[in-house]
Amino acid sequence: MFRDSDGVTRKVERNGRTAAAAERALKAALAERRSAQHGGKIKPEARFREVAEQWLSSVERDVNAGDRSPTTLDQYRSNLKRHVMPALGELRVGYEVTVPAVEAFLQKLRTTKSVAMAKTARSIVSGVMGYAVRHGALASNPTREAARLGGRRRKKPRALTREERVRWIAQLEDDEKAARWDLPDLSRFMLATGVRIGEALAVYWEDVDFENGTVSVDHTVVRVKGKGLIRKSTKSEHGDRTIPLTSWALDMLKRRYAAADSPDEPAFPDSLGGLRDPSNVRRVLRETRGSEGFAWVTSHVFRKTAATILDEAGLTARLIADLLGHSRPSLTQDVYMERAVVSPTTAVALEEALTDDPRSDG
């Protein structure tokens, strides 16, 4: 039974050579009537690939408006072409892109490729099918009912100790390639500010306020297919922030500014005075960090180290989140703070949990 747009409930029937075929025909008929009710521009018979093209165009418009990252668009395009389209492209969105179909695809991709690849594909399928729902092709998004994709247990945040920080800088300064790539000063800057590597490489001298000892962080460097390296705005309004500098970081920047070829170039430029590719800098960091002791260090470790230092100094999670550019302090606590030793004050607070109430003593 189906309630039509005039409010009358009618019996809808469809036949097929098999029970499954009849069921598919009935679902298609119901989806079509539902689409007609709401005047949707996408019909249930539309192929997934057709809707995906429209959805991707909407993502591209968001990128052009500055609401999404161009790297996200590149990632979606690649995953769509390589994984999603071969599996779902020819299916009808109204009645063939079902929960079992989506579930089977995602689990296979998770097994044959990776959890990360499957999670990106899930975001894409959800986006496409959500677009189809909004334009009348079906009533609900089947991706929402597919099982969540698990992953490996998140590694506990690890930060550089004070002794390790000193040794790290000394090691880089002794390495000719690391010194040529500015890794000692870049490490100092990231430890002093907690910024991401792309944000550090996007800092221009105009962003540094030497008089007030601050640096404005509101851009990051990314590589976009067909465009090369670009300097784009940070992820969100929380990503735009002005960070006070330590005295040693400010002294380092003053030294670099005095030696700079131009006041209009980045603070950490390439050999030609332009932007540096974060991926290339990460590669050189891996090549020069050594295999003994520092093999675990990545560019993100400096960010985690800054958060841990501030946490140990007693700053609130909100203040640390503001420094890192996070909207949620919970993310800062879960991902960026190293917490290996529980404060002894917890024992003090729980001291009387199983003892007599001292107020009852006569």
Tell the burial category of 260 from Cβ atoms under 10 Å away from its Cβ (0-12, 13-18, 19+). middle
Question: What per-residue confidence (pLDDT) applies to 347?
Answer: 39
> At a CB cut-off of 8 Å and minimum separation 6, what does 131 contact?
42, 51, 54, 55, 58
Shared domain for 300 and 207, answered yes or no, is yes
15: amino acid identity, one letter: N
Within-domain flag for 252? yes
Structure tokens belonging to residue 197: 């590597």
Query: Please, what is the angle between helix 278-288 and helix 183-193, to 10°?
Result: 110
Name the domain count of the chain: 2
Residue 257, both tokens: 């500014």
Mark which of 145, 179, 205 sits at the end of a domain: 145
Query: Tens-digit pLDDT profile for the chain (362 aa)?
Result: 555 544 556 677 777 788 887 787 777 766 665 555 545 588 889 999 999 999 999 998 988 877 777 888 889 999 999 999 999 999 999 989 999 999 999 999 999 999 989 999 999 999 999 999 999 888 899 999 988 887 555 566 688 999 999 999 999 999 999 999 999 999 999 988 888 899 999 999 999 999 999 899 889 998 887 888 989 887 555 567 888 888 999 999 999 999 999 999 999 999 999 999 999 999 999 999 987 789 999 898 998 888 888 888 777 777 777 777 765 554 445 544 444 433 444 434 444 455 455 444 44
How many whole angstroms separate alpha carbon 297 and alpha carbon 290? 10
> Are 172 and 318 contained in the same domain?
yes
Q: Does one domain contain both 166 and 115? A: no
Q: Is residue 350 part of a domain?
A: no
What is the Cα–Cα distance from 89 to 214, expressed in whole angstroms? 51
State how far the Cα of 278 lies from the Cα of 283, in Å rounded to an integer.
9
On whether residue 114 sits in a domain, the answer given is yes
Residue at 68 is within a domain: yes
Same domain, 185 and 114: no
Residue 206 lies in a domain: yes
Are 169 and 276 in the same domain? Answer: yes
Using the Cα atoms of residue 344, residue 346, residue 349 and residue 350 in order, give the sign of their dihedral.
negative
| Pair (87, 223) in one structural domain | no
pLDDT at 34 (0 to 100): 59
User: 3-state SS of the chain?
Assistant: CEECCCCCEECCCCCCCCHHHHHHHHHHHHHHHHHHHHCCCCCCCCEHHHHHHHHHHHHHHHHHCCCCCHHHHHHHHHHHHHHHHHHHCCCECCCCCCHHHHHHHHHHHHHHCCHHHHHHHHHHHHHHHHHHHHCCCCCCCHHHHCCCCCCCCCCCCCCCCHHHHHHHHHHHHHCHHHHHCCHHHHHHHHHHHCCCHHHHHCCEHHHEECCCCEEEECEEEEEECCCEEEEEECCCHHHCEEEECCHHHHHHHHHHHHHCCCCCCECCCCCCCCCCCHHHHHHHHHHHCCCCCCCCCCHHHHHHHHHHHHHHCCCCHHHHHHHHCCCCHHHHHHHHCCCCCCCCHHHHHCCCCCCCCHHHCC
Residue 272: CB atoms within 10 Å: 8
Q: Model's pTM, two decimal places?
A: 0.64
State whether 195 and 129 are in the same domain.
no
Same domain for 119 and 229, yes or no, is no
- List, in sequence order, every residue forming a beta bridge with 229; answer none if it has no partner: 223
Q: Is the same domain home to 131 and 183?
A: no
Contact 183, 285 (CB under 8 A): yes
| Nearest in space to 272 (alpha carbons), one of 282, 262, 258 | 262
Establish if 352 belongs to a structural domain. Answer: no
Give me the CATH number covering residue 309: 1.10.443.10
Same domain, 132 and 254: no
**Where does a domain end: 112, 145, 178?**
145
- Percent over 70 (pLDDT), the chain: 80
Per residue in 171-213, pLDDT (tens digit) is: 999 999 999 999 999 999 998 888 889 999 999 999 999 999 9
Q: Are 203 and 94 members of one domain?
A: no
> Which among 264, 281, 277 is positioned nearest to 224, based on CA atoms?
277
pLDDT for the residue numbered 312: 81
> Within 10 A of 329 (CB to CB), how many other CB atoms are there?
16
pLDDT at 154: 58
pLDDT of residue 348: 46
**Which of 104, 119, 145 is at the close of a domain?**
145
- The CATH number that applies at residue 76 is 1.10.150.130
**Is 141 in the same domain as 171?**
no
Contact 240, 202 (CB under 8 A): no
Domain that holds residue 58: 2-145
CB–CB of 298/305 below 8 Å?
Answer: no
pLDDT at 64: 80
Do 110 and 83 touch, CB atoms closer than 8 A? no
What are the residues whose beta carbons fall under 8 Å from the beta carbon of 140, sequence distance 6 or more?
133
